[in-house]
Amino acid sequence: MALARKRNVSSAKRTEQSVKTAKIDLNSKVETILQSKKHANDVFDLFEFLQSEKEKDVISAVAACSKLFCSLLERKELYMGKLPAEEEALSGGHSAAEKYRIYMRHRYHNCVEMLLEHLSHDVHSVKESALCCLMKFAAGEGQYPLEDLDWSEHYSFPRELIQALVDKLLSKTTDNSLLISRFQEFLEMEDVRYYVMSSIRENVGRVMDKNKGEVLPIYQNNVFTLLSNINMPSKESELTNYMVKQEAKHEDWKAAKLNEHKRVFERMWLGFLKYKLPNNMYKKVLVILHDSILPHMSKPTLMIDFLTAAYEVGGAISLLALNGLFVLIHQHNLDYPDFYKKLYNLLEPSIFHVKYRARFFHLANLFLSSSHLPVYLVAAFAKRLARLALTAPPTALLIVLPFIYNLIRRHPSCRVLIHKPGTEDEPLADPYVMDEEDPAQCHALESSLWEIKTLQKHYHPDVAKAAMLINTPLLEQEDDISEVLEITTYELMERDLKQTQTKNIPLEFETATQLLNKDRDVLGQNFCLD
Amino acid sequence: MGKTPKKSSLADKVRKTKTSTAIKNNPFEVKINRKKFEVLGRKTKHDVGLPGVSRSKAINKRKETLLKEHQQKNKSSKFIDRRFGEYDTNMAPEDKILQRFAMERLRVHDKKNLYNLNEEEELTHYGQSLAEMEKFNDVVNSDDESEEKGLLSAFGYDSHLGTGFAISREKQQQEEEEGSQRAKSRQELIEELIQKSKQEKRERQVQREEAQELTEKLDQEWKNIQALLVKKTPKAENAEKQEEKPKLDKYDMMVRELGFEMKAQPSEKMKTPEELAREEREKLQKLEADRLRRMMGDEVGHSAPAQVHISADDLNDGFILDKDDKKTLAYQDGKWNIGEKSEGDGDENSEEDESDEEQESETEEEDGQDDDEVEEEEEEGEGSSEEVEEDEGEEDGHSDLDSEQESEDEERKQEDKQTSAKPKTSLSKEEMKAQQDAAKAELPYTFNAPECFSDLKDLLHGHTPDNQRLIVARTQKCNHPSLAIGNKLKLQKLVGFLLEYIGELATRSPPELTVIDKLIPELYTLCQMFPEAACRSMQSILGDAGHSMEEVLEVKGHATFPALDTLVYLKVTALLFPTSDFRHPVTTPALLYIGQALTKCPVRSLQDVTSGLVLCCLAVDYVSLSKRFLPELINFLAGTLHLAVQDKTSLGYSVVSPFRPSGKHSDLLVLSDSESFKYWRKKNLPLSAAQHLDFKNDLDRDNHRLMCLSTCLDLVKRCCLLYKDLTSFPHIMQPIRSLLSRHLLAPTLPKPLQELHNEILETISSAPVSHSRLVFEKKKPIPLKLLTPKIVEVLDYGKKRGSTREEREKERLKHKYKKEFKGALREIRKDSRFLAREKLNEILSRDAERKKKVKELFGSLATQEGEWKALKRKKRK
């Protein structure tokens, strides 16, 4: 036992040592390769490590490779220009130095390929180091371009490398969200972002076309994660952080222009949204649409197709699409026919239970704040909300009741809903038609808000008090519903729990003798102890 | 000083005698107040004044009062001569002396000596006759005080001789004679006296000692003889003695009895049953009215005083624990100290301390009382609990006795037998076991209040539910707040621990609900004693539950149904606190919690359905009195019914939050075999079904489904009855109505459920559909401001003379005050003038005296000088 343990310990030590020695080995190898061209073949030893099973070896090998090739790039010891095939180069009439450079360039390409393979490795740390290494190469290539190009036409940027990287990142099979969030730090650089965006667009178009527009959840999720990680600058002056500095005509470089950025960004998003999305993806997109997508588009109105499609979906997605639509209507002069009718039809019992309740009521409050709306519309909204309130939880009721009161305050002619004296004293059935889709036809104005009268008997004291307000003329001052929008049930509970009461607490006066009482309790009549 | 006032007084006297006639006629004294015109019928008081007279009067008055005061100013002590007529200026000195003497004679010469013809008068000292004192001097028994008194009296006799007015004439003469002798030295006389008295004292002491010795001697001799006497006449002696004694005793006793006898106190009248019933009804009515007021949410400053729970054996005098002197069983570290007796004879060692008397008194009790019986008695009510305790005490006392009746030798023998003979041991083992069980089942009477939750758990661990209840009850009694200061805090803690314990019981598997059931009454009593503590503990429990649910919701968007312990807590809340209050610090959050659980917890299994239905039952319980509207309840019930609908297409209603119109878990209540309802009979679901369920086959499952459905329908019916007065009742019930009338048709249901089904539909359809329109409440119109001036008729012009009585009175008082004020002012002015004059006089007189003295001095000096010069001249000559 003890022996075994010792052995274990020693083996662990050994592996540690081996890792250390391997590291030292690799470092010394890199040194030797860099020192003299004689040892060029040692590169293969590095590659061996790079393809080993042990992740630690791989990581150290990646570090060594990055050191080696970065310094080679710096020394310009990699072949520039169009690369001849290896055999051809060896046989061809090149000088020894030339041959060496061609050889090294080939190794460099091998290395990049291997690293790209590693991007889909199982272990995250390997992925990460590979990603960092590749980005270092990209920076190196940008600074010391390998392609011999005409400086006036093209700007030096390792576009191919970035494209390959993006292709790997947007995997169809694995969820790369962790790696992508690591990648975000590189997206801070303006040129990288620019080229990444265009590569994404290309990639998405290619992949989705190949797949004939079918839904690819993992792939689309990866794309969305990458897209949502892109932080666009809002001003031209903020474009300062570049990976590659262009010596000449920096000003004319596309990556240095905000408009170009915006255009690429827009095309990327449109390209992504063009295809069918999974349902939850719609929600995710719509949630960030209004504040991180629309403002950075050069022509936000292009989003109208997507938004209207989403608005037609119904349910929570429609609710979310409202926000984007509102921005378009409000800031970009979009004319949306039957907007209010659709909004009216969005009012379903479920709106009180969905997560986006606060957002919806905030927007609805905005839409209905116009004083130029027709009375019948406002009355229809008020009546429908009141009817729906019969199924709402108290937190929602605390929003809805002030909301209805605000509607009535803004449109005094709606006061008949809560106060219609003198007409007929005889009772009448509710003329409101709940199922009518057109707010103009639903007879809301002929009805009264009896539902609020019902809610005066609600179990929660705050709701009951709020409902009591219709007994007297409403005050002029509008209620601020933004305070209650985010209220939770626990906060409501705390109102009573946290109250420091000095008064004595009322107690039940009927003596309790047992847990379940067959005569008095409903629970006792339907359930028994065992 | 003495002279002047006398003179003036004399002058006054003279004048006074003369004034009436002489002065009035003296035209120089009289001042006539001339009138302008005569008014007929007016009485004239002040037509003639005597200014001189009145002035001198005033001056005299001032001299007697103000001047005296002035002279006494800044002097702290004052000499008052209380002799008769000392300050009477009217009396001649001879008269005074005569009068005083007469008075003295009178005082001495009271009725007692009315017939005393003897001229001789007694000399007294402090009102006591000196002669008598002297007579008693010898007899007075040796008290130091009296001796001193005697001495003093003797001394007083002599020392007062000179001063005395209590002296007879003869003595006076004697005194005069002595006076010549005394001239030599008073001091000597006194010393002599003291010596004499000391000598006397010593003599008396000696005398007394001698007498004492003599009596002692006599006593001893008597004792010697007594024996002989007793033999001779014991009866007579005894009779005498006895006669004497009882007589005295009887009388004494009578007197004492009379003295100490309690005055008859009025006791409270016995109440007739009707009165009692009426009182009870009134109390309940008051409580109900209070509850209704709270339900309406009226804000009234103070609610009714906290109702104090009175147990049946409460004597209304605070709590008094009946103090048994016998050693009671007690818990130590969660074990009763009786438990160690398992090896030897089970029953003998624990209570050796018990006194024999007690055991004797208890021998008539039967052996081996049944434990169940005890508990039954306990169940009957608090009133009998003490008896039960006593019974139990007797029981163990008795067993003690049994064991003690056997001698120790026998015990040993028994032990030997146990070890030697096997069959017997087994028998005795059984006995032992029985005894052990009995001992175990019997509970100690005092418990220490648990300090922490684990203490309580240890305390209650391993007892039957009834005993657990007994333990809690006894703990509560032993630590009643009136017994010690810290007890209140302990019991308040106990409330929290008990609640925690209940939660723990409910989380065990299987849940021990019967124990909880038994503990409820104790919890209720404790809650009545400490509402704040109970409220705080419950609030923290509910707050934790709500908080954890909120956290889960934030992360996942939905939560799981509350566990059984939370359900039990919610039920206990309803038992302890009024659920109908408009706002209550405990029940309002509890109801909110129920509502949230009913909307946020997706129903995924039959277990969830059961939990949800328990919550619904609780919700109905909570609102059954106040008839408050709980939308979540209706939603959940509709959703539950929806689970039972087979064909989920073309719904005429919408289901909300926790339910989905269709999906994975939307067929939970659909019967797997449509025929299975034929074998179904209604019975109550167990509460534990909310915790876990296991079914043997599909039939079981279907049974459970039908049970859920029946509960659900029952709840729907109750809701219909509760809410049928609400204005929107048809809209509230619309989903349920369309469900029942279109999708869940009666024929597919078992018989009892069909009836329910029909009832519900009838109630819904019978509710009024039409309502009158909403209008604001009518306000009381605000009265217009009245701007017309107020007109008051003025009937009498000029000076108003007392329109009303009060006014007249006021006028009069005002006038009087003015007059008095003026008079007082005048008086003060006169006083100060007078004082100034007096002061001036004083100064003048002082100056004059000084001048006179100086003159005298100068005169004497001049004569001296003159003499000296004359002498000089003479010498020169």
User: Residue B181: what pLDDT?
Assistant: 52
Looking at the complex, report in whole angstroms how far the Cα of residue A263 sits from the nearest Cα belonging to chain B.
Answer: 37
What are B629's strand-pairing partners?
A458
pTM of the model: 0.58
Q: Report phi then psi at B705, rounded to 5.
A: -60, -45
**Within a domain: residue A274?**
no
Whether B261 shows a pLDDT value over 80: the answer reads: no
- Best of B688, B727, B737, B779 to substitute, by most chain A Cβ atoms within 10 angstroms, is B727
Of the candidate ranges A453-457, B19-23, B58-62, B196-200, the one whose mean pLDDT is the lowest: B19-23
Q: Show residues of chain B in contact with A394, CB under 8 Å.
A: 592, 595
Task: State which of A148, A171, A197 marks the end of a domain.
Answer: A148
CA distance A129 to A119: 9
User: Residue B11: what pLDDT?
Assistant: 52
Mean pLDDT of B6-19: 53
3-state secondary structure of B686: strand
ipTM surpasses cut 0.85: no
Q: Given an 8 Å threshold on Cβ–Cβ distance, is B531 in contact with A504?
A: yes
Q: Given an 8 Å threshold on Cβ–Cβ distance, is A391 in contact with B631?
A: yes
Mean pLDDT of B649-657: 73
Other beta carbons less than 10 A from residue A382's beta carbon: 27
Residue A389 gets which letter from DSSP? G
Those residues whose C-beta lies under 8 Å from the C-beta of residue B871, and which sit 6 or more positions away, are none
Looking at the complex, report in whole angstroms how far the Cα of residue A473 sits from the nearest Cα belonging to chain B.
Answer: 7
User: Residue B18: what pLDDT?
Assistant: 54
Whether B849 shows a pLDDT value over 90: the answer reads: yes
In terms of Cα–Cα distance, which of A158, A182, A166, A169 is closest to A243? Answer: A158
Task: State which of A132, A148, A164 marks the end of a domain.
Answer: A148
Looking at the complex, report in whole angstroms how far the Cα of residue A166 sits from the nearest Cα belonging to chain B.
Answer: 32
> How many structural domains is chain A composed of?
2
Alpha-carbon distance values, A21 to A34, A55, A69, B38 (Å): 19, 15, 22, 150
Tokens, residue B340 = 């160690």
Give the count of Cβ contacts less than 8 A between chain A and B. 261
**Within a domain: residue A475?**
yes
Mean pLDDT of B849-855: 96
Q: Given an 8 Å threshold on Cβ–Cβ distance, is A390 in contact with B732?
A: yes
**Within a domain: residue A6?**
no
Looking at the complex, report in whole angstroms how far the Cα of residue A420 sits from the nearest Cα belonging to chain B.
Answer: 6
Those residues whose C-beta lies under 8 Å from the C-beta of residue B205, and which sit 6 or more positions away, are B142
More confident residue, B410 or B686: B686
Q: Show residues of chain A in contact with B714, CB under 8 Å.
A: 525-526
Q: Given an 8 Å threshold on Cβ–Cβ distance, is A527 in contact with B306?
A: no
Q: Show residues of chain B in contact with A514, CB under 8 Å.
A: 517, 520-521
Mean pLDDT of B106-128: 65
Instruction: Tell me the pLDDT tens digit for each residue of B618-648.
Output: 999 888 888 889 989 998 998 888 888 877 7
Q: Show residues of chain B in contact with A420, CB under 8 Å.
A: 773-775
- Best of B538, B728, B779 to substitute, by most chain A Cβ atoms within 10 angstroms, is B728
Which residue of A349, A428, A530 is in closest CB contact with B770?
A428
- Segment B307-316 long-range contacts (CB within 8 Å, at least 24 positions apart): B307/A507, B307/A509, B307/B528, B308/B528, B309/A511, B309/B524, B309/B525, B309/B528, B309/B529, B311/B382, B311/B525, B312/B381, B312/B382, B312/B383, B313/B382, B313/B383, B313/B385, B313/B386
Mean pLDDT of B723-751: 84
Tokens, residue A167 = 């292709």
Q: Given an 8 Å threshold on Cβ–Cβ distance, is A461 in contact with B582?
A: yes
Q: Given an 8 Å threshold on Cβ–Cβ distance, is B585 in contact with A448?
A: no
**Within a domain: residue A186?**
no
State the Cα angle at A43 between A41 and A44, rounded to 5°: 85
3-state secondary structure of B48: strand
Q: Show residues of chain A in contact with B527, CB under 8 Å.
A: 507
User: Residue B161: what pLDDT?
Assistant: 44
Please give the single-letter amino acid code of residue B334: G
Tokens, residue A111 = 């290395």
Q: Show residues of chain B in contact with A473, CB under 8 Å.
A: 776
- Residue B807 CA to its chain's centroid (Å): 50
Place of tokens 């007197």: B255
Which residue of B593, B621, B776 is in closest CB contact with A419?
B776
Q: Report phi then psi at B125, rounded to 5.
A: -140, 120
Task: State which of A148, A166, A201 marks the end of a domain.
Answer: A148
Q: Show residues of chain B in contact with A392, CB under 8 Å.
A: 631
More confident residue, B692 or B8: B692
Q: Given an 8 Å threshold on Cβ–Cβ distance, is B629 in contact with A455?
A: yes
- Best of B284, B582, B774, B782 to substitute, by most chain A Cβ atoms within 10 angstroms, is B774
Domain residues for the domain of A72 are 24-148
Mean pLDDT of B325-349: 45
Q: Which residue in chain A is spatially nearest to B290 when comparing CA positions?
A: A506
Instruction: Please state the three-class secondary structure of B321-384 as a single string.
Output: CCCCCCCCCEEECCEECCCCCCCCCCCCCCCCCCCHHHHHHHCCCCCCCCHHHHHHHHHHCHHH
Give the best-scoring range by mean pLDDT among B286-300, B323-337, B367-381, B715-729.
B715-729
Looking at the complex, report in whole angstroms how far the Cα of residue B786 sits from the nearest Cα belonging to chain A.
Answer: 26
Confidence band of B307 (pLDDT split at 50, 70, 90): very low
What are B770's strand-pairing partners?
A429
**Within a domain: residue A109?**
yes
In terms of Cα–Cα distance, which of A374, A385, A373 is closest to A346? Answer: A385
Confidence band of B593 (pLDDT split at 50, 70, 90): very high
What are the residue ranges spanned by the domains of chain B? 443-529, 530-766
Q: Show residues of chain B in contact with A348, CB under 8 Å.
A: 654
Say if strands B48-49 and B124-125 run parallel, antiparallel, or are unpaired.
Answer: unpaired
Rg (CA), chain B: 55
Which residue of A353, A390, A450 is in closest CB contact with B771?
A450
Whether B443 shows a pLDDT value over 90: the answer reads: no
Confidence band of B292 (pLDDT split at 50, 70, 90): confident
- Best of B592, B600, B607, B706 to substitute, by most chain A Cβ atoms within 10 angstroms, is B592
Whether B465 shows a pLDDT value over 70: the answer reads: yes
Residue B690 gets which letter from DSSP? G
Which residue of A418, A426, A455 is in closest CB contact with B774?
A418
On the 0-12 / 13-18 / 19+ scale of CB atoms within 10 A, B157 is: middle
Q: Given an 8 Å threshold on Cβ–Cβ distance, is B774 in contact with A430?
A: no
HSE of B802 in the Cβ direction (CA atoms, 13 Å)? 9
User: Residue B834: what pLDDT?
Assistant: 94
Which residue of B542, B578, B772 is in closest CB contact with A427?
B772
Q: Given an 8 Å threshold on Cβ–Cβ distance, is A355 in contact with B557?
A: yes
Alpha-carbon distance values, A402 to A366, B418, B833 (Å): 14, 87, 87
Most distant CA pair in chain A, distance:
110
CA distance A458 to B805: 64
Of the candidate ranges A216-230, B203-217, B437-451, B656-670, the one whose mean pLDDT is the lowest: B437-451
Give the best-scoring range by mean pLDDT among A100-114, A305-319, B55-69, B377-391.
B55-69
Q: List the pLDDT tens digit at each of the 530 positions of chain A.
A: 444 444 444 444 444 555 556 666 777 777 777 777 666 677 777 777 777 777 777 777 777 777 777 777 777 666 666 666 666 666 666 677 777 777 777 777 788 888 777 777 777 777 778 888 888 877 777 777 666 555 545 566 677 777 777 777 777 777 777 777 777 777 777 777 888 888 888 887 787 777 776 777 787 788 788 777 777 777 766 666 776 666 555 666 666 677 777 888 888 888 887 777 777 777 788 888 777 777 777 777 777 888 888 887 777 788 788 888 888 887 777 777 778 888 888 888 888 888 888 888 888 888 888 888 888 999 999 999 999 999 889 999 999 999 999 999 888 888 888 888 776 566 778 888 888 888 888 888 888 888 888 899 899 999 999 998 888 888 888 888 888 888 888 888 888 888 766 567 788 887 777 787 777 777 888 888 76
**Within a domain: residue A117?**
yes
Instruction: Tell me the pLDDT tens digit for each residue of B858-870.
Output: 999 999 999 999 9
Tokens, residue A186 = 């590189």
User: Residue B837: what pLDDT?
Assistant: 94
Beta strands in B228-308 (DSSP E): none
Q: Given an 8 Å threshold on Cβ–Cβ distance, is A459 in contact with B542?
A: no
Which residue of A425, A461, A513 is in closest CB contact with B520?
A513
More confident residue, A26 or B836: B836
Tokens, residue B59 = 């001056």
CB of B771 within 8 A of CB of A454? no
More confident residue, A27 or B411: A27
User: Residue A253: what pLDDT?
Assistant: 67
CA distance B683 to B812: 94
**Within a domain: residue A196?**
no
Place of tokens 């109102």: A495
Instruction: Tell me the pLDDT tens digit for each residue of B154-211.
Output: 444 444 444 444 444 445 555 445 555 555 578 888 999 999 999 999 999 999 999 9
